[in-house]
Amino acid sequence: MKFSYHFPAVRGIQAKREYYIAMVPLRLLSRLFPAEDEIVLPEYRAQRRINEARIPEIKRYILDNRTTYVFSALSASIDGGYQFTPFSDADVGILEVDMDSVFLINDGQHRKAAIEEALKEDHFHRFLW
């Protein structure tokens, strides 16, 4: 038996490949997406370096707009096993991802870092994360 994550998801096709859109609770971001220095080889990290100066501004936006903040999606790749099970003939269903898979953010590293900082500052998690 394999353990897996189950995400409600929407399936789409781009360049003849399947892609998925899923909502993930913000408090799980650090578990699903580990620090990149743990999974990205050093020769590739230089191209993905985070500009730390951007994080406080994004964090402040989140904390000042707890019920109205809006973000664009984080884009990520999955290195591991997954399976999409649609509900009947729809492109809506459940994306099942093996827990030993590695998730890598391709776009949204600054937003992820700011969300993690906002969660640390908001000790009581007063908003629905």
Task: Report the sign of the C-alpha dihedral through residues 9, 14, 18, 24, in that order.
Answer: negative
For residue 42, the one-letter residue type is P
- Is residue 11 domain-resident? yes
Task: Evaluate if residue 114 carries a pLDDT over 80.
Answer: yes
Q: What gap in Å lies between CA 55 and CA 70, rounded to an integer?
A: 16
Q: What domain count does the chain have?
A: 1
Q: What gap in Å lies between CA 116 and CA 122, rounded to an integer?
A: 10
User: Quick one: pLDDT at residue 92?
Assistant: 97
- Is residue 67 domain-resident? yes
Residue 98, burial from CB neighbour count under 10 angstroms (0-12, 13-18, 19+):
middle
**What residues are paired with 79 via a beta bridge?**
102
- Is residue 46 domain-resident? yes
User: Quick one: pLDDT at residue 38?
Assistant: 59
pLDDT in tens, 12-21: 999 999 999 9
Residue 35's domain comprises 4-121
pTM for this entry: 0.79
pLDDT in tens, 36-61: 665 555 555 445 567 888 999 999 99
Nearest to 81 by CA among 92, 65, 95: 95
- Is residue 129 domain-resident? no
